[in-house]
């Protein structure tokens, strides 16, 4: 079935997980999780993906001390059409965000964001976004695309990412809601799961949200060098 998806990029979900399937809360900061978290970030670009997809809630965690600065922003000559910044030409590495209403306070549209690679921001929006936010994204040098009236049409978004930016593979790093939506539409090709030797606290979220039943085949499994963190890689049997 996966061959039918050639018009869309491949999607790999890449997540950390507790023994009981949780991916948030105190388990991320437990001493037993330290090795797995280090491995996770050191190996982000080891899976053949130069583009990382993040949902709005996940982005807000590391942008929590930022604010959108509308000082000097003008909406003259701004319309609701896809916009590709000149910064696209500077790198093959992207952060893609699903931010349908335009709320994320990116400080810049291009930079290393603490990584070795120079990264360009692509914001996926709905037509419900305030035009002032579009002017803000243009000012900071980010690109943006539209993929739906009120909510994001995932297949439309992925098609545009491939056709406008040449993106062939995307590493999705959550959060749970983004993972759930992609899984519900059978758009995920591969799961890459790092399992920590801890149990998550009550109320912590599953890394897949409320995703529907789906079938997967185990590609590989190994214990990492600390002797207690596990790496699982699964391939979808159902992607279409």
Q: How far is CA 194 from the centre of its chain?
A: 17
Res 115: pLDDT: 72
* pTM of the shown model: 0.92
Can you list the domains of the chain with their CATH numbers? 1-48+175-240 (3.40.430.10), 51-166 (no CATH)
Mean pLDDT of 222-226: 97
Res 4: pLDDT: 44
Whether the pLDDT of residue 137 is over 60: the answer is yes
Task: Assign 1 a pLDDT band (cuts: 50, 70, 90).
Answer: very low
Q: How far is CA 40 from the centre of its chain?
A: 14
Mean pLDDT, the chain, whole residue set: 91
Helices assigned H by DSSP within 113-227 = 131-140, 154-165, 176-184
Res 235: pLDDT: 97
Q: What is the DSSP string of 54-96?
A: EEHHHHHHHTTT-----TT---TT--SS-B--GGGGG-SEEEE
How far apart, in whole angstroms, are the C-alpha atoms of residue 117 and residue 29?
26
Whether the pLDDT of residue 238 is over 80: the answer is no
Task: Assign 5 a pLDDT band (cuts: 50, 70, 90).
Answer: low
- Looking at per-residue confidence, does 62 or 109 come out higher? 109
How far apart, in whole angstroms, are the C-alpha atoms of residue 161 and residue 224?
34
Query: What is the greatest pairwise CA distance in the chain?
Result: 59
Task: Assign 182 a pLDDT band (cuts: 50, 70, 90).
Answer: very high
Mean pLDDT of 37-49: 94
Decide: residue 156, CB within 10 A, 0-12 exposed, 13-18 middle, 19+ buried: middle
Whether the pLDDT of residue 122 is over 60: the answer is yes
């Amino acid at each position: 079935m996966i061959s039918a998806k050639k018009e869309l990029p491949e999607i790999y979900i890449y997540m950390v997980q507790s023994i009981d399937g949780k991916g948030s809360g105190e388990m991320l900061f437990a001493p037993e999780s330290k090795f797995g978290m280090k491995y996770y970030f050191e190996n982000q670009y080891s899976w053949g993906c130069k583009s990382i997809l993040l949902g709005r809630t996940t982005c807000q965690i590391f942008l929590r001390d930022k604010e959108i600065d509308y000082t000097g922003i003008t909406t003259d000559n701004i319309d609701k059409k896809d916009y590709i910044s000149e910064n696209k030409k500077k790198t093959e590495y992207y952060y893609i965000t699903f931010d349908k209403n335009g709320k994320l306070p990116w400080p810049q549209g291009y930079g290393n964001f603490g990584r070795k690679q120079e990264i360009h921001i692509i914001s996926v929006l709905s037509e419900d976004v305030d035009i002032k936010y579009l002017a803000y994204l243009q000012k900071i040098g980010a690109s943006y695309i539209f993929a739906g009236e009120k909510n994001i049409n995932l297949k439309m978004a992925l098609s545009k990412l491939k056709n406008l930016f040449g993106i062939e593979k995307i590493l999705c790093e959550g959060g749970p809601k983004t993972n759930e939506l992609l899984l519900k539409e059978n758009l995920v090709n591969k799961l890459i799961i790092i399992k920590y030797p801890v149990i998550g606290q009550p109320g912590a979220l599953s890394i897949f949200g409320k995703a529907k039943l789906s079938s997967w085949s185990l590609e590989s499994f190994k214990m990492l060098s600390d002797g207690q963190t596990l790496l699982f890689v699964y391939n979808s049997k159902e992607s279409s």
